[in-house]
């Protein structure tokens, strides 16, 4: 009896499985054991004590006079009954307790394996169900193994193993064994019949949950996060809206002197977070999305979902952002393709639009230069080669070719510059 009872006891204390399910599993296992030995289990009681972690097996038969047994599975003779308890009388029910030793060692070992197997399956189902219901929730865990493609993390609350793939970690993340990691549950999948919980630090929802923790007004529903776009570890833009005119949603999210946002920025490895007021006025929303740049004017093509944004020359680089991050995120936030143009009162009469060079420079290269705010030959030539490489996705060799083509338009002037 002890082997099975110990297995059950371990199951009861170590697994987070509801009591009715435990009782059902134990009954199933022992009724199978009974059927194998006695042919059926109709006249048997299996009593499971989930509190103590033990169980009892009882065979119940009607007591009949000696020699009058017609159904051996349901009846017992009075002489046999008296051997069990001398107080029994004909017509009563005889309760005979069974012990595991009565079933034989081989049958008991088979039952134990079945029980362990059922417990493991239940545990897997429970883990899958528990985490699947928590997708999108923040989880805190300890790094316990560092592999080539992933970090294995132990959930601080349950002890279950979680998987943080390296492509779900922020670029600046560097973990050692024993470090505590905060992340969001992304998905749960079955691999080799076992649940695998995937966590992420790059999901937009991770930033949303961090803000919810830091900003009580979001948790209370007074402020709503309308949309979040991120380049994890670099920059994020968050559109927020308040249903209470007395609450400034941006101010509430940032906090006094940045007190609320600073903790989030540190958690996200100094990710630059822009929080803007949401509005259905698309002109105004695009203007806010391009923060910190100050927009002069915007022309919309609503059919093509494109916006031509005009800025002062000193605002262009702010609108573009490092590596184009600001304009990319602004486009994703507003769902408009944004083109940036310089809006200068000091137009140089002999300057030439880049489109005029379409026979010498490929269209995609011209588009790439326009995306960093360079729409004329002089606007490109005014930037150094290293600046052009840094701000655009163009190769240095391509930029050299472009500069030669553009400089030839102003041959004498740029030759003098080189000599000086």
Q: DSSP letters of 290-316? A: TTTSPEEEEEEETTTTEEEEEE-HHHH
Helical ranges in 204-310 per DSSP H: 204-214, 216-219, 249-254, 259-267, 282-289
Instruction: Note down the domain range covering 165.
Output: 137-200
Same-domain check for residues 390 and 415? yes
Same-domain check for residues 90 and 9? yes
CATH at residue 165: 2.40.50.140
Per-residue pLDDT, 206: 96
* Residue ending a domain, choose from 168, 184, 200: 200
Structure pTM?
0.66
Q: For 272, which DSSP code?
A: E
Please report whether residue 316 resides in a domain. Answer: no
Same-domain check for residues 8 and 76? yes
Per-residue pLDDT, 181: 95
pLDDT in tens for each of the 420 residues of the chain?
444 555 555 555 545 666 777 778 888 888 888 888 888 888 898 887 766 666 788 989 999 998 888 888 889 999 999 998 888 899 999 998 888 777 878 887 887 888 888 878 888 888 899 999 999 999 999 999 999 999 999 999 888 999 999 999 998 899 999 999 999 999 999 998 889 999 999 999 999 999 999 999 999 999 999 999 999 999 999 999 998 888 999 999 999 988 999 999 999 999 999 999 999 999 999 999 999 999 988 989 888 899 989 888 888 888 988 888 999 999 999 999 998 887 765 545 567 888 888 888 998 888 888 877 787 888 888 888 887 887 777 888 999 999 988 888 776 555 444 444
Same-domain check for residues 87 and 22? yes
* Tokens 């011209």 belong to residue: 366
CATH at residue 55: 3.30.1480
**DSSP per residue, 313-339:** HHHHHHHH-GGGHHHHHHHHHHTSEEE
Please report whether residue 297 resides in a domain. Answer: no
Same-domain check for residues 32 and 105? yes
Length of the chain: 420
Same-domain check for residues 87 and 149? no
Same-domain check for residues 392 and 377? yes
Q: Write phi, then psi, for 61 (nearest 5 degrees).
A: -135, 150
């Amino acid at each position: 009896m002890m082997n099975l009872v110990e297995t059950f006891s371990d199951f009861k204390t170590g697994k987070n499985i509801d009591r009715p399910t435990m009782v059902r599993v134990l009954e199933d296992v022992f009724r199978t054991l009974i059927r194998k030995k006695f042919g059926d289990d109709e006249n048997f009681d299996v009593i499971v004590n989930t509190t103590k972690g033990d169980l009892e097996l009882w065979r119940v038969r009607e007591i009949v006079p000696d020699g009058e047994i017609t159904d051996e599975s349901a009846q017992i003779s009075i002489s046999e009954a008296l051997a069990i308890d001398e107080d029994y009388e004909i017509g009563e029910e005889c309760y005979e307790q069974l012990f595991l030793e009565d079933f034989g060692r081989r049958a008991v070992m088979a039952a134990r394996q079945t029980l362990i197997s059922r417990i493991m399956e239940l545990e897997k189902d429970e883990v899958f169900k528990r985490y699947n219901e928590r997708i999108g929730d923040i989880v805190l865990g300890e790094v316990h193994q560092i592999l080539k493609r992933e970090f294995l993390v132990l959930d601080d609350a349950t002890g279950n193993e979680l998987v943080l793939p390296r492509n779900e970690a922020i670029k600046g993340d560097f973990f050692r064994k024993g470090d505590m990691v905060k992340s969001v549950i992304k998905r749960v999948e079955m691999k080799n019949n076992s649940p695998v919980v995937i966590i992420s630090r790059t999901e937009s929802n991770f930033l949303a949950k961090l803000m919810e923790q830091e900003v009580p007004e979001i948790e209370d529903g007074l402020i709503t996060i309308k949309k979040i776009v991120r380049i994890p570890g670099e920059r994020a833009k968050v559109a927020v809206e308040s249903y209470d005119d007395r609450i400034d949603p941006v101010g509430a999210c940032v906090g006094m002197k940045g007190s609320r946002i600073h903790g989030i920025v540190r958690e996200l490895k100094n990710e630059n977070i822009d929080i803007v007021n949401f509005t259905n006025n698309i002109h105004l929303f695009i203007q806010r999305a391009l923060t910190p740049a100050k927009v002069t004017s915007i022309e919309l093509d609503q059919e093509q979902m494109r916006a031509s944004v005009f800025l002062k020359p000193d605002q262009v680089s702010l609108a573009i952002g490092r590596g184009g991050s600001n304009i990319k995120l602004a486009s994703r936030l507003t769902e408009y393709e944004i083109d940036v143009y310089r809006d200068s009162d000091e137009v140089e009469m002999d300057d030439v639009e880049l489109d005029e060079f379409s026979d010498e420079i490929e269209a995609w290269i011209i588009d790439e230069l326009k995306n960093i705010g360079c729409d004329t030959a002089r606007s490109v030539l005014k930037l150094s080669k290293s600046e052009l490489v840094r701000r655009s996705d163009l190769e240095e060799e391509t930029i050299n070719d472009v500069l030669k083509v553009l400089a030839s338009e102003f041959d004498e002037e740029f030759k003098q510059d080189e000599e000086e």
